[in-house]
Amino acid sequence: MPKYDVCLSFAGEDRPYVDEVARHLTELGVTRFYDTDEQADLWGKNLVEHLDQIYRHDSRFCVMFVSRHYAAKMWTKHERQSAFDRALVSDTEYVLPVRFDDTELPALRAGTGYLDLRRLTPRELAQMIAQKVGTAVAAPPAGWEYQLFSDTVGLHMRNLKDKRISHEMGFAAAGRTITTDTDAIDYFNARSRAFDKVINEIADLLSPGKQQWAFGPAGRPGDKDKIRLLANKFVEQYENLLDWSADLRGTTVPDRFENLYATAAKLTDAPLRQIEQFVEEFTTASERGAGDLQLNLVYDDGPVRAELQKVQTN
């Protein structure tokens, strides 16, 4: 009898997603090989032989997390070779491919059924794996709508981690060059209107009307596709704030406008922190089947107005 229900084969760059899948599998009672759980056992062993044993013999299924990173790594190549060798002699499907992107693996036949992780949260994938191995999955709990919104938001915000760090460090790729005062003022005013639009969009996405549209009226279930869309649009506006700030930092302007643009670029700092705190608190509440989609973004534009007055006066 195999030691594990599933073994998880993935690239290190994709670990944040896989880590959550592993956690949910444990909650569902599915036994799985996940490397970080067995670091002490792996210590000092011949990993080529040991991992071959796991991916070729010790698991009922191998969940293969395909991505551009997965296709390029030495160790994942070894793991998938063992898994495909097992699949060749198996009477039933053994390799269960899931995709982060459209990267092709030569040994994975084009007609093989796979799941698209761009549309699945780690919790949803874990539930589907549990069903595949024959573990009973309970009916969705009350408040599942909040979990789905939280999981979807968290999934996409993690993908923006590098962009968020670049914002914190003040990094930005060089962008447009503005050489005249008139163009500098006009572009600043246009970007100010764009900032207001993003803030208003976030407020609209979390409005009572949008909530009822996605989560359903009291006493009735929500709509999964609408909840996903609402979550995706919410993260899209979060990313728009990051891009808005990076655009100002990357714009070259006449010297006397530099402080104005630099100060304005920091205008997103408070809303970004407030959104991240909201997501953290909402995630905690959603685990209890509850949720509160109220978010009031507060920021101080006084320093920006002061810098604008300086350039207008001069």
Residue range 3-52, pLDDT digits in tens: 899 999 999 899 989 999 999 999 999 999 987 766 556 555 556 677 78
Least confident segment among 52-66, 236-250, 255-269: 52-66
Amino acid, single-letter form, for residue 269: D
> The pTM is what?
0.82
Closest CA to 200 of 278, 295, 301, 283: 295
Least confident segment among 5-14, 77-86, 171-180, 264-273: 77-86
pLDDT-based confidence at 76, cuts 50/70/90? confident
Quick one: how far is CA 248 from the chain centroid?
25
CB-based burial, 119-130: b 16+ in 10 Å, e otherwise: ebbbbbbbbebb
Per-residue confidence (pLDDT) for residue 111, from 0 to 100:
62
Per-domain boundaries in the chain? 4-133, 144-313
At the topology level, CATH places domain 4-133 in Rossmann fold (3.40.50)
CA distances from 214 to 58, 143, 146 (A): 43, 13, 11
Longest dimension (CA), the chain: 81
Q: Strand order of the sheet with strand 115-116? A: 32-33, 4-9, 59-66, 95-99, 115-116
Residue range 106-127, pLDDT digits in tens: 777 766 778 999 888 999 999 9
